[in-house]
Structure 1
């Protein structure tokens, strides 16, 4: 059974600047290299889902510019239905990534066309939502549009997955329609007020999220792994140990790959997390966002070699 995944999200052209470390205030530094690549949390997640075998559709906006044509091309190359990616008067979104030698990154985002998505766009793409198995969104597009999309999804038995990134508070109108939340340590602390610094804090945060109405949670813990808590299962999956070159899109690859493998009841969540963890491990071994996202056969081959 092939999962049908629809992503409401951002499309950004990434400007990747390789630096030894982050500059200090007032300091001028030279870059060792500069690259251009496709990205945006929404695009990354959709391409990860598609490359992992999901039938994927995208809802978003680009500008009438070369960057917009580039981003639509990335989606179409991944065999993603991009008919609900429409033109905005604003320029295509861009991200400026300071990539350090240790593989860590700091990112500045110019929303551009991503911020022009309205309820009218959601209405026009309603069929893409209601016929999906999973609907995914993040916070690089207007929350109001996500609220409308998740409402349509819940009315049609579509499983909703929220990635509250970049980190910000989630309005009740959206939270009440979230089936599964996937968030990192920073996002978890902002949303729950609980600092994720020890194993006990995972349990406390998941319990707090359940009280807030989200009963299924995955907290990604970087190089340590991922903790999950659903209505029927709980556990921790260790991360695969690899040499990290670039963490850009690691979390997005995890989420997109996860959505391609999950069943709608979340009954196979442990197996799906193992798959997603391997996809993410492969991604961090390459530079860039979209260029680093692995194909299904690469993930399966790596899992086979890891004896999973």
Structure 2
């Protein structure tokens, strides 16, 4: 991507955008990363080169990305009554995220994830849902007054879809724009899609949901048409190192990714969504500008190790764009 074409005049626009108010309903996991020379074959034992732990979870990563990019961010979630849970809450608070809607489960432990990271920067992830899977609809409804004041509500599939549907219904009741990241890929509630303003899958997730393989722009257009038939008018498909496709009611296009050397792709997609929500207008009228910002933020994330530790701040994105 040419910085001259895409960014020279965009930094000023990013600086002028007022802080969005974003609530994330999502997962809180303690991530343990194991560095390996390559992914093990079935039945094979490999020695790890390094082991590290950090705060993570798709929901937490997206919230941190939004907060570091300048959004006023709140979190709805659940942790266990354990050290891991207290660590996750403190980690969000350290980034200025409002954690008042995080509930402590007295019977189930905090979620966790185990990440295998190879020398090429690719990863495989195993997730234990834990307390993330215990979020109840009544806990979402208890937060209605705060949701009503937001610009965006974001959720993913590491927490129950029933809670997501309740949250989206509340959001739409109050005119809040809803963003669904259907990851990890799962069978989706048709009703949830009808309350979704913007769906943001990667190419694999999009194909799983529509039945249309993503190979080129024409197939992405076909995916957008299918999503409209399913009730979602606006779509972004992230295509890894290639970039991101978007389709709204008014326009469609493809924004190329920035070319960088990836060290660790963990949280790249989460950074993209969080950063996007910090810049996007609720009516999506500046979607291409916001996409460029999100792509730049994601390109910085993949150049660092770990999920949350590698998520950039607003100033870092701006500096990289000069």
TM-score by length of 1: 0.98
Q: Does 1:302 align with 2:312?
A: no
Matched-pair contact (CA < 8 Å) for 2:26–2:158? yes
Deviation at 1:4, TM superposition (A): 0.3
Q: Does 1:45 align with 2:62?
A: yes
1:12 aligned partner:
29
Q: Does 1:103 align with 2:145?
A: no
Q: What is the distance in 1 between the residues matched to 2:211 and 2:164? A: 23
Matched-pair contact (CA < 8 Å) for 2:79–2:85? yes
Q: Does 1:80 align with 2:77?
A: no
Aligned length: 304
Deviation at 1:199, TM superposition (A): 2.4
SS in 1 for 2:218: helix
Matched-pair contact (CA < 8 Å) for 2:202–2:238? yes
Q: Which structure 2 residues correspond to residues 115-264 of structure 1 after superposition, within 5 A?
A: 115-264=133-282
Q: Find runs of 4+ consecutive structure 1 residues off by over 6 angstroms.
A: none
1:236-285 per-residue CA deviation (whole Å, 9 max, x = no partner) reads: 10000001000000000000000000011100000000000000000000
Q: What is the distance in 1 between the residues matched to 2:27 and 2:147? A: 16
Q: Does 1:36 align with 2:53?
A: yes
Instruction: Report the aligned-residue RMSD.
Output: 0.7
Deviation at 1:207, TM superposition (A): 0.9
Matched-pair contact (CA < 8 Å) for 2:22–2:153? yes
1:71 aligned partner:
88
Matched-pair contact (CA < 8 Å) for 2:78–2:104? yes
2:296 aligned partner:
278
SS in 1 for 2:321: helix
TM-score by length of 2: 0.93
Deviation at 1:26, TM superposition (A): 1.2
Structure 2 unaligned runs (5+)?
Answer: 1-17
